[in-house]
Structure 1
């Protein structure tokens, strides 16, 4: 269904509920990654509802069914697009609270969704009871500032909706680096070849961000890697980091651990991490994804 945001933008929102005979345990607010859509999480959502969790998932601005024309893929807005996506999550969270006032809410973000979720926890952390971060990273600030500078220039001189292949190559093009037998540019997302084939065949996936979209992304990444901002997160918010040991986005776990330690340094008292051997970026879609699902469920039962 379409839900209108505070600026008038219509966002596609999906709500999944457990069967009537299953006791409801809580709500998961699912935040998908870049260049994809919420519909790719069907297997995980079915697992959660079978366990008694209501799931709210939206397609971000510039993604999935929240896009009205192909030129808007990877475009979040002319100004402050990243902050608007974070605020969209707040509007959806307000709906969740209104619909389910007695239930705990856990935000689960994957990839770019994990970056949005981290920003959300800084700005609105008191509105959630837990945070799960899948396939995240914690990039060096100097690289992010370069990316922000270049994308700002590209936005100014090429146009906000132009798609700069060089920026895309520098941002996403290196992710197959440890896969010498890669068959597609998207092999890095998952070892399950069927998942990759479906991703490549999906016209709503794998697009190149606009110049404005890349500028917003780098701006958001700079915000969430600032120690002063991380310190604004509620110190008692339970956080779980999960990632594949072979995930190039997190530099095979190196940047995931960096994000984990940054939260520990900020005095968060319940931060946990697990890296999964022989898994790439989309651990929720790998062949042995059930192991990840069960770990998430056990964490929810223990910490929420």
Structure 2
């Protein structure tokens, strides 16, 4: 069963959220989902229902600049001033909401792609607010790559283009990803090897939009500070971390960035595990072997937290 809710984000915008749960059984733990760029949280409904069927309660929201409310306001891709940090705080709001509704239950945060970086920033700031965390479709862009992209974004902003969709920055990111796919059928083949799933993404009016320059300025600056500024020192960095990816995911540099992410958290003292799926692309929850991925996530949670 799903119930829908809305909440205010910094008295600027309303965000849509959803809770998936069973009326017939008590949940064993809370899962909070954090989705990727240029999509909405409702793309995770099948996964959320699978989790509910395995006695979890699931929360998720569409990030600012994403989802039906943003689309209705003509604001897809627009996250506002200091939008990156506000996205992190919005995730904290939903985690707190879930914890209030189900006090005492373990909390697992599952972040995908852009949402994985939001989850990583959440962990950096709120190390005790989750009992386990999953980073899916994540990576570790180089310092020079972020500086270069950030410079382009700031130059575009100077020329009064901050609120215009940035085809240049979109091409530098998504275009670069799809260029790594041999004989691509569509501009989004890098997402999945399953043609039907790629087509569903393309046909979804809440997916695939080109974001404005202001988004990229916020996002790139957020990534730079997350990965290369103020290296965190965790007091008790023992919560389990799962890094999950396809071996052919361009976002994770086809394993390189995925492994670097895993090593990064392992070196910080986290109980870190890496799951790489051969020939899988960016969205392992929408790959041909999604059933295996679903089961692996459940098995990992069952091993790592007391439920």
TM-score using structure 2 length: 0.94
- Aligned-partner Cα distance in 1 for 2:264–2:230: 10
Moved over 6 A (4+): none
Q: How many residue pairs end up in the alignment?
A: 301
Distance 1:63-1:153 versus aligned 2 partners, 3 A rule: same
- Which of these residues, 29, 34, 47, is aligned with residue 31 of structure 1? 34
Task: Report the 3-state secondary structure (helix = DSSP H, G, I; strand = E; otherwise coil) of the residue aligned with 1:188.
Answer: helix
RMSD, aligned α-carbons: 1.5
The aligned counterpart of 1:146 is 148
- Aligned-partner Cα distance in 2 for 1:156–1:88: 29
The aligned counterpart of 2:300 is 299
Distance 1:125-1:73 versus aligned 2 partners, 3 A rule: same
- Aligned-partner Cα distance in 1 for 2:227–2:119: 13
Deviation at 1:69, TM superposition (A): 4.1
Structure 1: where are the runs of 5+ without partners?
A: none
- Which of these residues, 1, 6, 13, is aligned with residue 2 of structure 1? 6
The aligned counterpart of 1:18 is 22
TM-score using structure 1 length: 0.95
The aligned counterpart of 2:46 is 43
Task: Report the 3-state secondary structure (helix = DSSP H, G, I; strand = E; otherwise coil) of the residue aligned with 1:174.
Answer: helix
- Aligned-partner Cα distance in 2 for 1:233–1:163: 41
The aligned counterpart of 2:127 is 125
Deviation at 1:8, TM superposition (A): 4.0
Q: Is the 8 A contact 1:71 1:161 kept in 2?
A: no
- Which of these residues, 118, 134, 137, is aligned with residue 135 of structure 1? 137
Distance 1:6-1:301 versus aligned 2 partners, 3 A rule: same
Mapping of residues 211-222 of structure 1, within 5 Å = 211-222=213-224
Deviation at 1:131, TM superposition (A): 0.5
Which stretch shows the higher mean deviation, 281-290 or 155-164? 155-164
Task: Report the 3-state secondary structure (helix = DSSP H, G, I; strand = E; otherwise coil) of the residue aligned with 1:209.
Answer: coil
- Aligned-partner Cα distance in 1 for 2:152–2:173: 12
Distance 1:290-1:111 versus aligned 2 partners, 3 A rule: same
- Which of these residues, 228, 246, 249, is aligned with residue 247 of structure 1? 249
Q: Deviations over 1:159-195 (max 9, x none)?
A: 3211121111111101122322211100110011100
Distance 1:69-1:281 versus aligned 2 partners, 3 A rule: same
Distance 1:26-1:239 versus aligned 2 partners, 3 A rule: same
Task: Report the 3-state secondary structure (helix = DSSP H, G, I; strand = E; otherwise coil) of the residue aligned with 1:158.
Answer: coil
